[in-house]
């Protein structure tokens, strides 16, 4: 199971999460991650972090922030196997920045993930586009940048075309885990 970070695990910030003191788990995220571990699911975080490419944070500080996140998740009974990061500036043209599937392909090639049996949970059209490009299932959470979430994303549905119409949407990571583990809560319709 792939998870985007900002808007799925922790609150999105318009000014980026630059330090651990700015990192705030979303309600229910730690419990959802513990349930995934209890169900034997692998969890890999795939996240665009242009704060490195923009010179706002260095790669070492970002790695330490992710170590603290993983420690907090473990203390709550969950596990994040790996955090795969695109550190590049959006204008760099790299192949790892979502909506490109590079981070997912890295997981396939280096961690032995079967993408056809995987799902990416994200809060933005870039996450969903990367999942479709890599051959993964996709699930949208409304707890982040989507129009129904934090309110600072565009009407993204048009960008993904027909694939957007078939992507289920749920309120948050807890509801995504319910759906994926067979105990669905309310699924929100997009349209």
CATH classification at residue 68: 3.40.50.1000
pLDDT tens string 56-86: 999 999 999 999 999 999 999 999 999 999 9
Please enumerate in sequence order all residues whose Cβ is within 8 A of that of 190, keeping only pairs 6 or more positions apart, or say none.
140, 157, 164, 165, 167, 169
Q: Which of 6, 123, 172, 178 is catalytic?
A: 6
Distance, CA of 6 to CA of 77 (rounded, Å): 20
Q: Which of 4, 123, 156, 178 is catalytic?
A: 4
pLDDT surpasses 60 at 24: yes
Task: Using a cut of 0.85, tell me whether the model's pTM lies above it.
Answer: yes
Residue 103 belongs to what domain range?
A: 2-188
Percent of the chain with pLDDT over 90: 80
pLDDT tens string 95-154: 999 999 999 999 999 999 999 999 999 999 999 999 999 999 999 999 986 544 443 333
Count how many domains the chain has: 1
What angle do the packed helices 173-180 and 29-38 form, to 10 degrees?
20
Q: Is 4 a catalytic residue?
A: yes
Confidence class of residue 166 from pLDDT cuts 50, 70 and 90?
Answer: low
Report the 10 Å Cβ neighbour count for 4: 26
């Amino acid at each position: 199971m792939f998870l985007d970070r900002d808007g799925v695990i922790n609150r999105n910030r318009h000014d980026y999460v630059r330090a651990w003191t700015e990192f705030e788990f979303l309600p229910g995220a730690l419990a959802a991650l513990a349930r995934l571990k209890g169900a034997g699911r692998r969890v890999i975080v795939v996240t665009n972090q242009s704060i490195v490419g923009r010179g706002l944070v260095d790669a070492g500080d970002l790695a330490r922030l992710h170590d603290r996140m993983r420690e907090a998740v473990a203390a709550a009974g969950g596990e994040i196997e790996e955090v795969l990061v695109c550190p590049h500036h959006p204008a760099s043209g790299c192949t790892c920045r979502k909506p490109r599937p590079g981070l997912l392909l890295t997981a396939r090639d280096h961690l032995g993930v079967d993408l056809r049996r995987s799902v990416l949970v994200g809060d933005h059209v870039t996450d969903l586009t990367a999942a479709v490009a890599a051959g993964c299932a996709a699930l949208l959470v409304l707890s982040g940048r989507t129009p129904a979430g934090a309110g600072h994303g565009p009407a993204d549905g048009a960008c993904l075309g027909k694939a957007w119409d078939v992507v289920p949407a749920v309120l948050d990571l807890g509801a995504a885990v319910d759906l994926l583990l067979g105990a669905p809560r309310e699924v929100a319709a997009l349209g």
